[in-house]
Amino acid sequence: MIVTLIVICEVSFWVLLAAGLAARYLLKLRRTSVVMLLCEPLLEVVLLVATAVDLRNGAKPSWEHGLAAIYIGFTVAYGHYTISRLDGWAAYRFGGAPRPAKPPKYGMPRARHEGKLWLRTLLAGAVASGLLQLAIWYVGNGTSAADALRLWQLVALRAVGIHGVIAVTYLLWPKKAPTEEPAGRAATAERLPREHSGGR
């Protein structure tokens, strides 16, 4: 049941987002779009409540509950960011707003961008681990169910660590912008064949 609910929440997230942006920029129903977009966090609340009720009714904690915690953490950390980015592109495409700036590609600006994304992943891991710890306390330490939930805490920690290593690489080895050939040098190189051929 939990996995099915996760799928429903994910599909509903994108449906509500698309409907909200369409209402704002195509139908010019700004208030309606705000209501739709404000419903997005309710999806995580529904999933959280359903998971808690499932455990309270005697369900044995399993990978499904761990996956639900990971999903909630990811949505808390990246949900608003995703909505803001897509809203900016919709405003540009349909509302006449300036084109949104793309993420930087090179140098320290790219490193800072990756660092900010890692902080979101850190938040996602913290939320997921916190929810899993609450579930562990609920079922009791030292049980097989608690051990299964701790494995998902390790999954969250591993994801934070891997993303952190990737982000650090951009800081230690910043990607350099491709160097363009100076215009004067290119023009000189173009004249050389003519000069050697006697101007023909």
107 domain residue, yes or no: yes
Is the CA virtual torsion 29, 14, 7, 123 positive or negative? negative
Cβ-count burial of 87 within 10 angstroms (0-12 exposed, 13-18 middle, 19+ buried)?
A: buried
Query: Is pLDDT above 70 for 133?
Result: yes
pTM as predicted: 0.82
191 domain residue, yes or no: no
Q: What is the DSSP string of 33-47?
A: HHHHHHTHHHHHHHH
200 domain residue, yes or no: no
199 domain residue, yes or no: no
163 domain residue, yes or no: yes
47 domain residue, yes or no: yes
- What letters, b where the CB count within 10 A reaches 16 and e where it falls short, cover 49-67? ebbbebbeeeeebeebbbb
Kindly report, residue by residue over 49-101, the tens digit of the pLDDT.
Answer: 888 888 777 777 778 888 899 999 999 999 999 999 999 999 999 988 999 99
Q: SS3 breakdown of the chain: % helix, strand, coil, rounded to 5?
A: 80, 0, 20
Provide the token pair at 43: 């999806």
Number of structural domains found in the chain = 1
Query: What domain range includes position 60?
Result: 2-176
Query: Is pLDDT above 70 for 34?
Result: yes
Q: Which of 19-23, 35-39, 63-67, 153-157 has the lowest mean pLDDT?
A: 63-67
151 domain residue, yes or no: yes
194 domain residue, yes or no: no
